[in-house]
Amino acid sequence: MTRRVALAWALISKGLRRIAQLVLPLRLQSRIRPGLDALVLATCKPSPRRDFGAVLCLHGLGDLILAARCIERLTQFMRSRNLKVRLFVAPQNVRFAQRYLDVDEVEGLDWMLFERDLLYRVRSVRSVAHRSGYALAVQPTFNRRLAVEDSLIRATLAPERWGTWGSPQFIHPYERPLGDSFYHRLIPDSREVMHDLERYREFMAALGLAIEASPWRLPSAALGRPIESPYLALCPQASDVVRTWSQESFLRAAGAVAQKHGWAIVVLGNAIGERLDLPPDGPSVLDLRGQTSNDELPALLAAAELVLSNDSGPYHLGIALGRPTLGVGGSGMPRRYFPYPAERLLRTRVVHRKVACEGCSWTCIHVPPVVTTAWCIEQVSWLEVAAAAEALLCAEPH
């Protein structure tokens, strides 16, 4: 019965969103969710205690890794004010954050459900507000949205709420006046395009808290070696299909490199995808898709001879572990995620095709409006990736 009720509510919620999209102007649509939040918050009594600080980092594993230096420095700052730190992350990143980030508490919150499912939203706002007790809440991510980050900052009921100005790709001008009003301090950012590590350094510098724009380092020595034989770690999945290079191309490139060096291939991912088709005389393959959680990835990547991935979480994790890491990327958000600052000092590279239409935010003009790989990523050949892998392996570590 519970499953039927959940399914019925999901359909109702989807129908209400569709009606709102068809009937209401954009400016009014953007105020519906914050208006609902206000009704919920009116029934919540804030905690009299103010012994916690909140940090929001709700996106994927790669975003969490890029924000790790910022999170650690904010944690030090909050603890200097005698505050415990509660970090909000995506549910699939909870165990990773608990294991590898030095914070006091980690709470999972699904931002997509929060934005789309009204019942989940009401429950989440109520939960955040009832557990308030926050003296300070910080939203440092550049992907700021009125319906998600701004709304959650308000739900903390903290007397001090700090945030970034945010990317215009995610928050519209007509949403800013309302969203801005939920903060007590907004940090303006430079208009130039920069890597997220540089963006976090800019944000923290404005707060008087210095961090480096260099990769967060996750010590690999204590992680052990779960697989003894040498292997190439292949991570052919991404958080969405549009940024995912084809599995066939990944397998051909990985097979060529692994065959040459006498390595096995270990395939990693959160869920089982397409069937793995490799020639019978190729390298041995261990398929661990669907058997590996995000907190188990570091040990597997730390022992790999090479990490081959999309421009996604494993790519950034491979760099954090100091492993030779090769990514395949596109031009939807150029220079935000690659190349890394001072990339020549790192054993990493992203193979991508420079195109005139870069900066599309993954709204591809070259492919039909269905769920498919972006055109710019499809232009990358497996031969290019295999050659780039060999060049990376031959490069001297700095």
Q: Which residues, 6+ apart, have CB-to-CB distance to 113 below 8 Å? A: 120, 121
How much is the pLDDT for 49?
Answer: 86
**Which amino acid would we find at residue 54?**
A
Nearest to 140 by CA among 199, 65, 216, 97: 199
What is the CATH topology of the domain spanning 221-394? Rossmann fold (3.40.50)
Question: Of residues 27 and 136, which shows the higher confidence score?
Answer: 136
Sign of CA dihedral 330, 333, 337, 339: positive
Dihedral angle of Cα 57, 61, 62, 63, to the nearest 10 degrees: -10
Measured CA to CA in angstroms, residue 85 lies from 51, 75, 80, 136 at distances of 9, 6, 11, 10
- More confident site: 390 or 19: 390
Quick one: pLDDT at residue 398?
59
Give me the mean pLDDT over the 110-121 stretch: 91
- Mean pLDDT, the chain, whole residue set: 88
d(CA 150, CA 139): 8
Using the predicted structure, report yes or no on whether residue 198 has a pLDDT greater than 80.
Answer: yes
Q: Do domains 32-206 and 221-394 have the same CATH topology?
A: yes
Which of 78, 136, 140, 133 has its CA nearest to residue 104? 78
Check residue 118 and give its pLDDT. 86
pLDDT tens for each residue of 144-179: 999 999 999 999 999 999 999 998 888 888 899 999
Its CATH class, for the domain covering 32-206, is alpha beta
pLDDT greater than 90 at residue 101: yes
Report the Cα 148 to chain-centroid distance in Å: 15
Nearest to 136 by CA among 209, 214, 62: 209
pTM of the model: 0.89
Distance of CA 205 to the CA centre of its chain: 22
Question: In the chain, what are the domain boundaries?
Answer: 32-206, 221-394
pLDDT at 81: 97
Peptide bond into 168 cis (omega under 30): no
Q: Which amino acid is at 328?
A: V
User: Cβ(173)–Cβ(26) under 8 Å?
Assistant: no
Res. 1 pLDDT band, cuts 50 70 90:
very low
Residue 326: helix, strand or coil by DSSP?
strand
Nearest to 229 by CA among 195, 189, 263, 179: 263
Q: What is the pLDDT of residues 268-309, one digit of tens each?
A: 987 766 777 776 778 899 999 888 889 999 999 999 999 999
Length of the chain: 398
- CA 217, CA 133: separation in Å to the nearest integer? 32
Q: What is the pLDDT of residues 330-376, one digit of tens each?
A: 888 878 999 999 888 889 999 998 888 887 888 888 876 667 888 89
pLDDT (0 to 100) of residue 138? 98
Taking residues 223-246, what's their average pLDDT?
87
Q: Quick check: helix, strand or coil at residue 118?
A: helix
Closest Cα partner for 9 from 120, 148, 123? 120
d(CA 132, CA 173): 29
> Residue 325 above 90 pLDDT?
yes
Token pair for 241: 């299909």
Q: Cite the DSSP H helix spans in 245-323.
A: 247-261, 297-302, 313-320
Least Cα distance to 265 among 229, 225, 294 occurs for 229
User: What are residue 108's phi and psi, to 5 degrees?
Assistant: -90, 135
Band of residue 9 on the pLDDT scale cut at 50, 70, 90:
low
- CA–CA separation, 133 vs 78, rounded Å? 14
